[in-house]
Structure 1
Amino acid sequence: MVNPHFVPKNVFQYGDISYVDHKEASDAKKDGFEQITCLTLDIYARKDISKSTPKPVFMFIHGGEWIRGDKASPYPLIRHLAEVGWVVVSVNYRLAPTTLYPTQLIDAKRALRWVKLNIEHFGGDPKFIAVAGDDAGGQIAAVLALTPNKREYQTGFEDVDTSVKACVLINAITDLVDEQKLWDYDISDYFSKKIAGRGNKDIAFCKEHSPLYLIKTDSVPFLVFHGDRDTLIPFKSSINFVNEFKKKTKSEIQFIPIPGGHHVYHLFSSPRSHYQAIGVEQWLNHIYDDGNNDKNEYAWVSEENDFSE
């Protein structure tokens, strides 16, 4: 229960695979060797997986306020999904402020490019990739899911399809503008200056990278978790994202509030984190199997629930 590097016996881990080409690696050298090593991913797949029957892919982007964190974090969710047959990819990216945003988003799209081109060799299905993340990784994952094929974030691989089929968020940052002043500090000022390296607070830039403002009528399905005792990222910000999503698109969104959940409740093994992993598995299987956004047996949160309060 407490082994942070536990990998199930029936799962093999392929570690530290570079997802960039030679030119991209060379360009990244200006940030130093440590940042180059961030351009890697790990793959978790069952040892008995058959390449003749490709399995759906789950790509996870770690959190850490864009400035810390690692793909090797323990996350029971990653291990569970691999154990039940998903091919799981855990992604690193270059960190701020050494490398300024939106490099983190671009790196994630580069990782997705690599997955689409190579995951079949590990038994994965490149036609079905779900992306997920927590904290700042959730912001990156959501923006990636909501900006498919946006050329300005795909320099050098503009013609690669960077769409995904679904997105899972855990205590994610979905609003960098914070018009309702939910944060304890000025998140737009922090993001603009420290993370993106802009001289002044740039509200327009923050909007461009806030999932709340990127929802479209054809957005992919979302599953959103948030601990109601999260003291770092406002719980109500996820409620606002869910309500806005329901207004703008017919795609499925499920919101699962976690009673008593703090900011990193999902990081270590516990009954709560393991049941959450099972719930993610069930929802993803529904999206994968049904291939549509209709309401279904896994719709734990009914349409009648109002999270505006």
Structure 2
Amino acid sequence: MNRFIATLLAATSLAGCAQPGQAAPADSVYTAESTYQKLASNYPFIQIASKTPPATVKVLRDIDYVNNQGKALQLDLFMPAQTAKPALPGIVLVHGGGWRSGTRDNLAPMAIRLAERGYIAATVSYRLSGEASYPAAIHDVKAAIGWLRTHAADYQLDPRYIAVAGGSAGGQIAALVGVTNDMPKFDPQAQLSTVSSAVQAIINIDGLSDFTSEEARKYEDDPRKTPSSAGAWFGGTYAEKTGLWKEASPLTHVGKDTPPILFIGSAQKRFSLGRDEMVQKMNVLGIATQTVLIPDTPHSFWLFDPWLETTVDAMTEFLGRQFGVLP
């Protein structure tokens, strides 16, 4: 812990974080608008959550946080327009889209509501599977966390309290990022910086915890899809890339240093696979964990009202307890 605190105070910069570059294009196949068209007939009461920030929220957009071979990856920062507190907790938000689609703008409504509650929220872009296979997305999100901690003083962020959260594929990525804290294999930027990319809490919203079970492989390794979303990310089927499918399962890495984890789940069982086993492991180790299920919900519920408010309620209540600070 002493080493960790020391790294927070180190003055350094991540390679490429301030370098200008060509921004990676956003993929817009998976959006709230396209998902609404699929869900509205069965859930006529839902509304797409607003991406328009109120006057109480300040937004800084299109910030380069790392540069990969001349292509910049960017994040957007959402924060209270005014605060009496000297520093606020942070949270990095990872969008979903089957590892090959989606855009950080999908999580803007969530970031706005977190900022309204006193958080510094960063929505991040990362390399999708069509551009770079696993584990590039993990490297990218860790780089974003490191960038945020490096620049904590610029944005009134408390570098001791940073969480990572995501939905669907973003939930799996967020969980894997958190359970691999301080593992150099998953963080190539670590050798270039003395600032830690470790997080102090994880929130997995309807993201897989295990790719390897028979039931998980039924969905994620469907032979009718060539390739499946997971297969495209791993560069091969389970039989071809068994080691990667296991390595990318957050369940594999649960240990005594795993941060507290909140699971928020829909009514769709497919996306909860591995969660119960992960909770069981954490309970044995005495690590704080909580599961909040939102009944009668489809996957992607967090993109819509009224479910987004329930989701953010659960997130802030959990983080308030784990961080010991109330926004």
For the aligned pair, the TM-score class normalised by the smaller chain equals 0.7 to 0.9
2:41 match: none
- Letter of the aligned partner of 1:163 in structure 2? A
Q: Tell me the equivalent position of 2:261.
A: 222
1:175 paired with 2:210, answer yes
Q: Secondary structure at the match of 1:266?
A: helix
Provide the rounded CA distance (Å) in 1 between the counterparts of 2:130 and 2:103.
Answer: 16
- CA-atom RMSD in angstroms: 2.4
Report the Cα offset of residue 224 of structure 1: 0.3
Q: Which amino acid aligns with 2:100?
A: I
Match of residue 19, structure 1, among 38, 58, 65? 65
Over residues 174-230 of structure 1, what are the superposed CA-to-partner deviations in whole Å (9 max), with x where a residue is unaligned? 111123457435269846641122486222221111001110022110110111236
Partner of 1:257: 293
Q: Please, which of 124, 136, 146 is the counterpart of residue 113 of structure 1?
A: 146
Offset, 1:116: 0.8
Q: Residue type of the partner of 1:244?
A: K
> Is the contact made by 2:220 and 2:230 (CA closer than 8 Å) also made in structure 1?
no
Identify if the C-alpha distance between structure 1 residues 65 and 2 changes in structure 2 by more than 3 Å, giving closer, same or farther. Answer: closer
Specify the alignment match of 1:238 in structure 2: 275
- Aligned equivalents of 2:217, 2:231: Cα separation in 1: 19
Match of 1:129 in 2: 162
Question: Equivalences for 1:37-186 in 2 at 5 Å?
Answer: 37=72, 39-49=73-83, 53-74=86-107, 76-158=109-191, 159-181=194-216, 183-186=218-221
Cα distance in 2 between the residues matched to 1:74 and 1:144: 18
1:304 match? none
Kindly state the Cα deviation for residue 282 of structure 1 after the two structures are TM-superposed.
1.4
Instruction: Please point out which of 303, 314, 317 is paired with 1:267.
Output: 303
Q: Provide closer, same or farther for how the CA distance between residues 77 and 180 of structure 1 changes in structure 2, counting only shifts above 3 A.
A: same
Q: What is the alpha-carbon distance in structure 2 between the residues aligned to residue 49 and residue 283 of structure 1?
A: 21
2:90–2:119 contact (8 Å) kept in structure 1? yes
Cα–Cα, structure 1 residues 47 and 127, in superposed 2: closer, same or farther, change >3 Å? Answer: same
Q: In 2, distance between residues paired with 1:144 and 1:176?
A: 16
Q: How many residues align?
A: 274
The worse-fitting range, judged by mean Cα deviation, of 72-81 and 123-132 is: 72-81
SS of the residue corresponding to residue 319 of structure 2 reads helix
Q: Which amino acid aligns with 2:77?
A: I
**Structure 1 range deviating more: 184-193 or 147-156:** 184-193
Mean CA deviation greater in 177-186 or 56-65: 177-186
1:49-71, Cα deviation, whole Å (9 max, x unpaired) = 35x71101011111111101111
Helix, strand or coil: the match of 1:256? Answer: strand
CA distance in 2, matches of 1:173, 1:240: 12
Gaps of 5+ in 1: 30-35, 292-309
Which amino acid in structure 1 is aligned with residue 272 of structure 2?
F
- Find the aligned partners of 2:156 and 2:221 in 1 and give their Cα distance: 44
Which amino acid in the other structure matches residue 88 of structure 2?
A: K
Which TM-score applies when normalising by structure 2? 0.77
Q: Secondary structure in 1 aligned to 2:257? A: coil
Aligned position for 2:248: 209
SS at match of 2:62: strand
Instruction: Describe the superposition over 1:118-168 as per-residue Cα deviations: whole angstroms up to 9, x where unpaired.
Output: 132111111210111111111111111111121122224324412111011
- Residues 259-294 of structure 1: per-residue CA shift (max 9 Å, x gap): 111101111221x32122122111111111179xxx
3-state SS of 2:302 partner: coil
Of residues 75-84 and 129-138 in structure 1, the stretch that sits farther from structure 2 once superposed is 75-84
In structure 1, give the amino acid aligned to 2:157.
G
Judge conservation of contact 1:12–1:47 (CA < 8 Å) in 2.
Answer: yes
Given that residues 137 and 173 in structure 2 are in contact (C-alpha distance below 8 angstroms), is that contact kept between their aligned partners in structure 1?
Answer: yes
Aligned-pair distance for 1:105?
Answer: 0.5
The one-letter code sitting in structure 2 at the alignment partner of 1:196 is F
SS at match of 1:184: helix
Q: Secondary structure at the match of 1:56?
A: strand
Structure-1 separation of matches of 2:207 and 2:51: 23
Q: Could you tell me the TM-score, scaled by structure 1's length?
A: 0.81
Alpha-carbon offset, residue 8 of structure 1: 2.4
- Cα 1:84–1:105, aligned 2, differ >3 Å: closer, same or farther? same
Give aligned-pair identity as a percent: 25
Contact 2:221 2:230 survives alignment (8 Å): no
Is contact 1:133-1:139 (8 Å) kept? yes
Q: Which residue pairs with 2:56 in the alignment?
A: 10
Contact 1:76 1:274 in 2 (8 A): no
